[in-house]
Amino acid sequence: MSSPTEIFAASIVPDVVEALTELGRPDEAEPRVDALELNGRRLDRPWMLAVGARCRATVLAARCDVGAAVRTAGCALTQHDRLAMPFERARAQLLLGRLIRRERSDATAALRDALAISSSSARRCGPTAPAPSSQVPGGGHADRRKTGSRPPSNESPNSRRRG
Question: What confidence tens digit (pLDDT) does each residue in 91-123 have?
Answer: 999 999 999 998 888 778 777 777 777 666 555
Q: Does residue 53 register a pLDDT over 70? A: yes
Q: Does residue 156 register a pLDDT over 90? A: no
Cβ–Cβ < 8 Å for 17, 55: yes
Torsion of CA 46, 49, 51, 53, to 10 degrees: -150
- Closest by CA position to 53, among listed 92, 23, 81, 20: 92
Give the model's pLDDT for residue 103.
Answer: 84
Give the model's pLDDT for residue 57.
Answer: 97
Give the model's pLDDT for residue 111.
Answer: 74
Q: What is the mean pLDDT of the chain?
A: 78
Highest-confidence range of 1-5, 44-48, 120-124, 144-148, by mean pLDDT?
44-48
Q: Which amino acid belongs to residue 84? A: A
- pTM > 0.85: no
Cβ neighbours of residue 70 under 8 Å, at least 6 residues apart?
57, 96, 99, 100, 103
pLDDT tens profile 119-148: 665 555 555 444 444 444 444 444 444 445
Among the listed ranges 40-49, 55-64, 137-146, which one has the minimum average pLDDT value? Answer: 137-146
Among the listed ranges 13-22, 86-95, 127-136, which one has the minimum average pLDDT value? Answer: 127-136
CATH entry, 7-122, from 1.10.10, 1.25.40, 2.40.160, 1.10.3470: 1.25.40
Indicate the domain borders of the chain: 7-122
Give the model's pLDDT for residue 108.
Answer: 81
